[in-house]
Chains A and B, each alone.
Chain A
C-alpha cells in the first residue's frame, strides 16, 4: 500500500496484509486462452461506419423536405388548432400552479438523470 501517515508499520496485521499482497502480485496469472475468450465475446463493432452519420442526416433532410413540400400548411394548422384548444379552456391559478409544478418536476427529473452517477 502506498505510504500513508495512519499506517502503523509495527502492526502485525499490517505486515501480514502487505506480505500477502506482495505474494499475490508476484504470482502471475497465466493467460491460458483468456484473451481469446474475451475477444470472441466482444460485441460486433466499437464504432459505427464513418458513412453512417452523413447518410442518416441526409435521409432526415429528405424526409423533412418531403413532408414540408407535401403538407405545406400542416404546421401552421396544428399550431392554430392547439392555440384554439388552449384558449377555449378557462385558466385558473390552480392550472398555473399545476403547470409550474409539472415543469419543476420535469426539470428536477431531467437534471437528476443527466447528473446521475455512472
Chain B
C-alpha cells in the first residue's frame, strides 16, 4: 500500500493502523534527521520525532500531496526542532559535548572495532556532529536537508519555509564554517 493510500485511510476512515504503518515507514528517516539537527542528542531527537508525528496526525487533513510525505514530515520535524531550540536558547557548542556523550549504539553501529572504513565512518560521524553544532540553526538545517536528507535546494526551501536563495546562502556559509571546523580532514 502506498503512502497516499495510507494517508487517505487515516484521514477518511480515522484509521490509526494506517497511520501506525506510516510512522513505521518514516520513523527511521525522521529520527535520523533530528539526531543530526540536535547534534547527536538521541533522547531529544526522539522526543521531537514523537512530537513531529503527533503534529502530522493533527495536520494530516491539510496535507495536499504537493510534496512527498517524507518531505512534509521533514518540514514538521525541522519546525519542531527550531521551536525547541529557540525555547531552550541552547548554547550550541556547550550542548554538543553532552550530546555526543549521549550517543548510544541503538542504530546498530558498534564503536570502532572492525575495519578501517568503519572506523573512519565513526570518527567522521562524531566530528561532523561536533562541527554541525558550530553552525547557526538555519545553516545547520540547510546542510542537514540538502546533504543528510538528500533534498534539492527547492525541496529544502519548502522544508525550511524560506526562499531557495536563502537556502543556498545558508549552505555556502555553513560550508565555510565546516571547512574550519573539519580542517583535520582536509587532504595535506
Contacts and interface: CB of A to CB of B under 8 A. Distances in A.
Interface of A: 1-2, 4, 6, 12-14, 16-21, 23-25, 27-32, 34-35, 37-39, 41-43, 45-47, 117
Contacts, number: 114
Given A1-B146, A2-B152, A29-B27, A24 B125 contact: yes
A34 B125 contact: no
Interface stretch (B52-60, B84-92, B93-101, B133-141): B52-60
B1 interface: no
A86 B112 CA distance: 83
A42 B161 CA distance: 26
Greatest chain A CB density within 10 A among B10, B106, B146 is at B146
Contact of A117 (B57, B146, B161): B161
| Across the A-B interface, the 5 shortest Cβ-Cβ residue pairs | A29-B28, A21-B147, A2-B152, A38-B53, A27-B107
A37 B50 CA distance: 8
Contacts of A32: 106
Contacts of B124: 16, 19-20, 23
A29 to B, nearest CB: 4
Interface string B170-182: 0000010011001
B179 A13 contact: yes
B58 A28 contact: no
Given A29-B31, A31-B27, A34-B31, A20 B152 contact: no
Contacts of B58: 43, 46
Given A27-B108, A38-B27, A42-B54, 14 more contacts: A14-B175, A16-B124, A16-B182, A20-B124, A28-B107, A28-B108, A29-B107, A31-B27, A31-B28, A41-B54, A42-B16, A43-B54, A43-B58, A46-B61
Contacts of A6: 168
Contacts of A39: 16, 19-20, 23
Contacts of B182: 13, 16
Greatest chain B CB density within 10 A among A6, A35, A41, A46 is at A46
Contacts of B109: 27
A42 B150 CA distance: 29
B64 interface: no
9 contacts: A1-B147, A1-B151, A23-B121, A23-B124, A23-B125, A25-B150, A28-B107, A37-B50, A38-B27
Nearest to B22: A35
Contacts of B175: 13-14, 17
